């Protein structure tokens, strides 16, 4: 299918190149993912180019349900293939940051092995609720990836424990510019997924803080992002989630996600569903994901070490560091699962006042006094 599109592009712009980016370039595609292509060096007006390519695709009979989104922030052509398995394509013009992002994503995948399984679950979760497209107000894959990376970077299990701090008897005065080494990340994917839904579904104060995955991950004031008066708050839309582009600190990659409150509600619903009482043989993911025929036909993974890893020692009362504030048995009530944060203030909390758990340390840097309004 990609070769067929390349042939059509070459017939219109012989010097242009066609590059695949997005989930198919990074291996993070789900059964319903779009194939993202970008045309480079067309030397054509974008809107005229969109019309010319759409006409040619239609004439060649390889596209159906063709849409030209010329007024989108990034104009694209959307269509499904005919004769190639009904693949969904998104084609943009002369936007090189897509392939550049794919390189960055691959670097993150190498650094965080739990990133791929978690992102696939979250992408499917949003897709099944029609909250995965930016042009309809949802969260795109790149923004979702950035949120997930920041979450992993700031997870409470990575907070330095007392054993990682230098002794006063053997050390000089600590340098405030040097951060103590982080503990290993919680290895249990179930714990991480529950914490993710809880953070972005009910705890983070989106009206006042934004999220960044740069510099090891941090939160920032939306009203004064860099300490120089730069505001990332749109008038009348202070409820919007602000997420810094890892490749461009001036770009808010969630500024078009106007349905963010629906996303937040969906995440909160998932948290409550996963934390509620369950039977021993019940599949918890089936509470939040529909098992269609495509998913049902998939083979089970041969390496399940990440799926069934026991909680980290820091997640067990009395364990090393005791970084995570609450232990989560497999079957429990939402209130018990919420627990109370161990010394974490309500800096980025909204609905769970004073209970930020996995993000308390980074929240202290933001310094918001008390719980805010989550919208």
Q: What's the per-residue H, E or C state across 35-77?
A: EEEEEECCCCCHHHHHHHHHHHHHHHCCEEEEEEECCCCCCEE
The answer as to CATH 1.10.1410.10 being correct for domain 112-166+179-366 is yes
State the CB neighbour count (10 A cutoff) for residue 327.
15
**Rounded mean pLDDT of the chain?**
75
**pLDDT at 167 (0 to 100):** 34
pLDDT at 298: 58
Contact (CB, 8 A) for 374 and 355: no
Cβ proximity of 143 and 253 under 8 Å: yes
Q: Alpha carbon of 314 to those of 33, 46, 151, 154, 271: distances in Å? A: 37, 53, 17, 15, 21
Q: Which of 74-78, 195-199, 253-257 has the highest mean pLDDT?
A: 195-199
Enumerate the β-bridge partners of residue 221.
Answer: 209
* Residue 365 confidence (pLDDT) above 50: no
| Burial class (CB within 10 angstroms; exposed 0-12, middle 13-18, buried 19+) of 232 | buried
Instruction: Please check the confidence at residue 341 and state whether its pLDDT lies above 90.
Output: no
Task: Examine domains 2-104 and 112-166+179-366 and report if their fold is the same.
Answer: no
Whether the pLDDT of residue 285 is over 70: the answer is: yes
Locate the domains of the chain by residue range.
2-104, 112-166+179-366
What is the pLDDT confidence band of residue 227, given thresholds at 50, 70 and 90? confident
- Architecture per CATH, 2-104: 2-Layer Sandwich (3.30)
Lowest-confidence region among 4-13, 35-44, 88-97, 171-180: 171-180
For residue 263, pLDDT beyond 70: yes
Residue 21 CA to residue 98 CA, distance in Å, equals 6
Question: Which residues are 67's β-sheet partners?
Answer: 78
């Amino acid at each position: 299918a990609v070769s067929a599109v390349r042939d059509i592009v070459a017939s219109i712009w012989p010097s242009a190149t066609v590059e695949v980016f997005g989930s198919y370039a990074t291996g993070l595609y789900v059964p319903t993912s779009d194939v993202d292509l970008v045309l480079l060096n067309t030397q054509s007006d974008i809107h005229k180019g969109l019309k010319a390519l759409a006409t040619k695709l239609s004439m060649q009979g390889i596209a159906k349900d063709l849409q030209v989104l010329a007024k989108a922030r990034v104009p694209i052509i959307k269509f499904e293939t005919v004769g190639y398995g009904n693949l969904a394509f998104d084609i943009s013009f002369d936007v090189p940051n897509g392939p550049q992002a794919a390189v960055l994503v691959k670097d993150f995948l190498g650094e965080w092995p739990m990133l791929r399984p978690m992102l696939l679950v979250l992408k499917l979760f949003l897709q099944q609720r029609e909250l995965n497209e930016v042009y309809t107000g949802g969260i795109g894959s790149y923004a979702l990836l950035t949120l997930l990376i920041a979450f992993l970077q700031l997870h409470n299990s990575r907070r330095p424990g007392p054993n990682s701090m230098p002794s006063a008897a053997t050390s000089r005065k600590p340098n405030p510019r040097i951060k103590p080494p982080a503990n290993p990340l919680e290895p249990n994917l179930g714990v991480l997924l529950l914490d993710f839904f809880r953070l972005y579904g009910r705890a983070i104060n989106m009206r006042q803080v934004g999220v960044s995955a740069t510099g090891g991950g941090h939160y920032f004031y939306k009203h004064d992002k860099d300490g120089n008066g730069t505001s990332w708050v749109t008038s009348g839309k202070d409820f919007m989630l602000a997420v810094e582009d890892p490749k461009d600190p001036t770009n808010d990659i969630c500024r078009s996600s106007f349905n963010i409150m629906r996303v937040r509600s969906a995440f909160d619903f998932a948290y409550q569903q996963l934390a509620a009482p369950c039977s021993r043989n019940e599949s918890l993911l089936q509470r939040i994901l529909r098992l269609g025929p495509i998913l049902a036909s998939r083979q089970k993974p041969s390496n399940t070490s990440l799926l069934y890893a026991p909680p980290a020692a820091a997640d067990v009362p009395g364990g090393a560091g005791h970084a995570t504030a609450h232990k989560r048995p497999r079957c429990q009530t939402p209130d018990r699962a919420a627990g109370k944060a161990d010394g974490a203030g309500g800096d980025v909390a909204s609905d769970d006042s004073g209970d930020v758990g996995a993000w308390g340390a980074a929240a202290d840097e933001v310094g918001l006094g008390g719980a805010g309004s989550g919208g």
